[in-house]
Structure 1
Amino acid sequence: MRHIAVIGSGPAGYYTAEACQKQFGDAVRVDILDRLPVPFGLIRSGVAPDHQAIKGVSRRYEAVALTDNVRFVGNVMVGVDITVAELMELYDAVVLATGAPSDRPLALPGADLPGVIGSAAFVGWYNGHPDHAGLAPPLGGTDAVVIGNGNVALDVARILAKSRAEFSGSDIVSPALDALGGAGIRTITLLGRRGPAQIAMTPKELAELALLERAEPVVDPADLPSIAGDAELEPGLRKTLGHLRRFSAGRSGKPIAIRFAFFSQPVAIEGSARVERVIVERTRIDASGAAIGTGERHAVPASLVIACIGYRTPRIAGVPYDDAAGRFANEEGRILPRLYAVGWARRGPSGTIGTNRPDGFAIAEKIAADIPGDSGRVGRPGLDALLGERGIDVVTFRDWQQIDAAEVAARRGDAPREKFTSIPDMLGARTL
């Protein structure tokens, strides 16, 4: 019997558990530990609340969780309640699937001004993550600036622009819905240091902007490349440029503008007591594809700045860390003997949710190669004894089902659920 501990219950964690089941059959026991009492990680607190179809993948993880040889162990913080070294004494292999939930720092003068927020915090706020439920972003001003040209920036802009009615059927938490409903924002500027041909937004998500009730995307035609070169582009980028060209046709009169500011590198954030403007330098693309500053600068009004520039994996004591990459130091998923990383904790914040599946299967194969037989470690019973001695209030998957039922019962209108936004409330929803 092999005993495997997976730290993190998001997509990378559950795909790894599924892969271990397929690799070892009945001869494996997998415990999935999470610091929160609720599973599914990024699916619950990262995916946009108006993208419910994407969240449906959690049903696959639930099927894995309900099997006899996989167990959810929630409300346990590795590094605080139990160390990685202790887990390695108990388990044959320990897999870090903690994701990258922390914002990459915005290294600009003025980045510490009130009103400057990282996307992990802002996304966590409207998704009800307990770490960010009390964020209270300043939404009373008229000008928001979103730094970044990826899908996270697109999500943030769309959420800021939607009317209350457009959140019908979503699981946005009520405090965020109420705050956004009273927002005064009229211009959302998306700053991208490179041009339309280098945009990281995907066509499907970009197309959603054209369907918004009270907001419209705006692109300067002068920023667009010649249509003559479109035939040489890969199909996805060709579709993306097609959307941007349609956005450049002019405004139709909707009250909110989502402005794409290409070739715009933020160089400073200014304000007396809080953010008031972002200083932007015009860029050009050199022969290598890099954005080079031209020296031409201007100010963009901003009552709110949200930086969507990437994420980092939090450190865990005793685990080697690659500070430059913002993830655990590893070689193809191997950190130390019997210690592995998977998903964003392994490769950094890249790829889609589905990218984690082959990643998990690759790690399962490495575990099989590195640990050919039964080591005699105790696994699950040892963990239970240690957590019991320390008085840790462990949340099981059955407990999660009770929390889930309580959230569903508390839903408003046609929302799928009303999430608990504090750990005490989650724990209190259980029937002990």
Structure 2
Amino acid sequence: MKRKSLSIIAAAGLSVVLALGGCARAGQESSSSGSPGEITMWTHSAGNPGELAVYQQIISDFNASQTQYKIVQQNFPQGSYNDAITAAATARKLPCLLDMDGPVMPNWAWAGYLQPLGLPDDLINSLLPTTVGRYKDTVYSAGYWDAALSIFARKSVLDKNTIRIPTVDKPWTLDEFDAAVTKLKANGYTTPLDLGAADKGEWWSYAYSPMLQSTGGDLINRSTMKSADGALNGPDAVKFFTWFQQAFKNGWADNAGPVGNQRFIDDKVALSYTGVWNAEDALKSVGNDLLILPPVDFGKGPKIGGGSWQWGISAGCKNADGARAYLKFSFQDKYLTAFADSQVVIPSTAAATTASKYFNDKAPLHQFAVLSQKFALARPATPGYPAISLSFEKAAKDIMSGADVRSTLDTAVQAIDTDIKSQNGYGF
């Protein structure tokens, strides 16, 4: 998984969701299926041979393990997956099994295209919380893995500049972080920090809303899911975005690009706010000097984003029991470990993590598993999330470019609340 895929995935996911939301509650007459017992499964994984190999192994093993059901897989490139889902939803012929980006699942459930997942409680309870998709306290999706964010640094650079190395138990405070980047800029790094601001799409909510939450704000009032007022434009939100704007004004960060972690690898920046998908390349380039640091504590505890691709069952699936049996089979730890080690992503169970060559407690990327367990938060489980994410991205980019913080956040809140009201509160 490369970070560029986060934008592609988000663009696909959000456009699909908005299309589905337009015909919400339309119902679904049938799912695409051939002969009795045949279960169609769609993925967005075409062009990803490592991921497809794991799927092919699971499907082969499941089909050989019984004679009642047969999984038939169809794979789409990420860029065209949304078109396929939209067309199938319009024709009421969604496949039985489909994958989806975690934060958009509530919109699909609200639109009536998914049924409750119905997997055993002991299986669901064994998974990382951010790999389980819930809408209104009902589980509709679950995933094999999650991603996590960190700050990459070189130990030699921090030592040279007498900067404390933060730990999970004692992360950098905001004052410490500001002092660190100020010192690094003064001591030779023209732009000491890569925040990833050259990226676009879902990266913005995934990466920066946890910082907002760490300050005390949020994307929406999660207790009601009916308004962003006070959460996205309150004093804590203003405080965070004032800092965010200042980081660019001070020259600590910029949006010059490229997208990814290359500037850190080239030692053009000292600190890189990035994800597990860039860790293997960083490890190869930086070696034992690489530090995988916890997020900054902006005042209310460190936070990072969580919730990635997950599996669900369409509402009109004629072989829902078979789809459920396949999913239960697929969540064996050996398959989760295979996903983790082929894609360098965090397994969704403790046992699979222990078996992973990248994430076991002695492995070089184990810190990501720790960060995911301790600090990861899911994005708001509301069908209105697509509009929230788009509004957040626009506001954050405008503020980065110098717009007035408070009025920009007020405008974002107004857009979000207008969308929620237009959909009668999305069922809340």
TM-score bracket, normalised by the shorter chain, equals under 0.3
Normalised by the length of structure 1, the TM-score is 0.26
If each structure's helix is expressed as a fraction of its own residues, which one has the higher value? 2
- Flag the structure with larger Rg: 1
Normalised by the length of structure 2, the TM-score is 0.26
If each structure's strand is expressed as a fraction of its own residues, which one has the higher value? 1
